[in-house]
Structure 1
């Protein structure tokens, strides 16, 4: 369903500032560390998000009234230009589970720091991770390392999907643990991407690595 900003009635102060045009860039929100409480804020400021269903699983649990069966869905969203999110959703049917997962992924949207950090590449474009980072989820740990332009995404299929949605075209990787467990591998990749923005570096160092912010 396409988003129509004219039909949106914001319920939060931030939402009202977005609708009236006072806030026009989602980076303003990220830089202040403010929580996004309305999905329409993401729809308005990052309208070109694409969605990818990563995994659909049946999950069961015992309840006093009997066995409960739900679908658990993992979804990644991104605009292939520096923004990506990962989310999960559960429901009795696949459709509602996917919608919940998409909404959750939008609430978890982050900006991904990209650059040209490989010593053998001097293109200066934002095509890879600017420096080595690690991510962890349960028993799975992943390292993402800068790669020269043209290498592609040397990582498992789950990682390729998330990195592609983030706008990363080249990367080396190492992974350990039960990487065949989609939810943990996906969360480890996402954790590594979040770490990119947490690493402190001077403006001169970032500029040298091709990072534009």
Structure 2
């Protein structure tokens, strides 16, 4: 998800709004990444969770990526045991192409679970994004995405974000952006942060966000 969403999973990603806010970090995990093999990279991970003698909270997944010239393509899957009676299953496809004047990316994701419709997170979403350099110092970042809930009626949502970054030096940049989510009557997606779920909102609401900041790398 981080490879094909806009600039990774940070502010402004439709993918970041529609993801499950609990799956970005995995405790007690083992991870393997292969060397680059003719453009292909294979990754795998297993997380033991935190409950001794129980498979609850355990997680495993893998991915295959291919990069050649301006192209990047990838597929990944993940399975997470949330309770004794439920397992969440995720599948993702991603693609990106660098045109030189802009980099475009597309991310598709599906989620399945074993829960009843009233509490199910089953659904699919996509994010289409583009990064447009502006001279040597600036860049525009645009993200649009849509979610389709497959377990409950009126659980769809749409999201749009626009951000501008301006470099003052190799280590310091300014940034500003706006983002908005349109939830249908049965959806309650919110503006997530880079690592955690954002503030709760009511179903059918339209949360928005404005960011202004400065970033400095030491």
Structure with more helix by fraction: 1
TM-score range, shorter chain: under 0.3
TM-score (norm 2): 0.24
